[in-house]
Amino acid sequence: MTLQTLSTVTLQTLDNYRNAASRAVVAYHLAGKRLLGLVNGALESSVYPRTAKVAPRATERLNEVRGNVSKIIVKGADQVAQRTEQAIVFSSDAAATQVSKIADFAAGIDNRLLANGLQAAARVTMPAAQVALAVSSKVAQGANALADAAGARPVRSMARKAASGAKRRAAPVARKAQARVKTTAKRVAKFGKRVAA
């Protein structure tokens, strides 16, 4: 269990939480629109036909106001969902970048004592990281189920594409860190031979 595997598990956990947050936003957005549609439908089918018999002008005016309020609510929900999605993408990208930088820094350490200490810390931390990954997977599954229940089935394929894109972006970082770990190990071995000589 190396620092590299710890960073990979951490990146996967971040990706799961990003997916879960995105799917929760989709569920909120669709559920809000569905609720608004139900309220509007109930007013149009049950209330307005009755009030039109008694006060046709007032009913017509109320219907116009309801339409305007509905447009404002939909526009506001769209903006909230869009900005929240942007914040999710920004924060998860920033976190993934920091994890990658830390992995690169740790892989580039030439001090044998410090490198061994970091390896030991990674081994100790790995079980907790794997538990966090399992929990994040369950959270992502729950968010997917919630979004599907809200009617977002077609969006899931876009989320999968985004998740695979995140994995593709993380792969070169992982390979780079692994190469640095190997280079550091070779340097340490050469240094050990020189000291022994």
The total domain count for the chain is 1
Question: Looking at residue 83, what is its pLDDT?
Answer: 92
Domain membership of residue 148 (yes or no) is yes
Question: Looking at residue 161, what is its pLDDT?
Answer: 57
Question: Looking at residue 102, what is its pLDDT?
Answer: 81
Domain membership of residue 183 (yes or no) is yes
Domain membership of residue 44 (yes or no) is yes
Domain membership of residue 196 (yes or no) is no
Q: What are the angstrom distances between the C-alpha of 127 and each of 9, 15, 64, 130?
A: 10, 18, 59, 5
Question: Looking at residue 155, what is its pLDDT?
Answer: 46
Mean pLDDT, consecutive 10-residue segments, the chain of 197 residues? 67 89 89 88 86 88 89 90 90 88 77 73 79 86 84 58 58 62 60 56
Phi-psi region of 2 (alpha: psi -120 to 50; beta: other; left: phi over 0): beta
Domain membership of residue 169 (yes or no) is yes
Domain membership of residue 197 (yes or no) is no
Residues 72 and 60: their CA atoms lie apart, in Å, by 19
Model-level pTM greater than 0.85? no
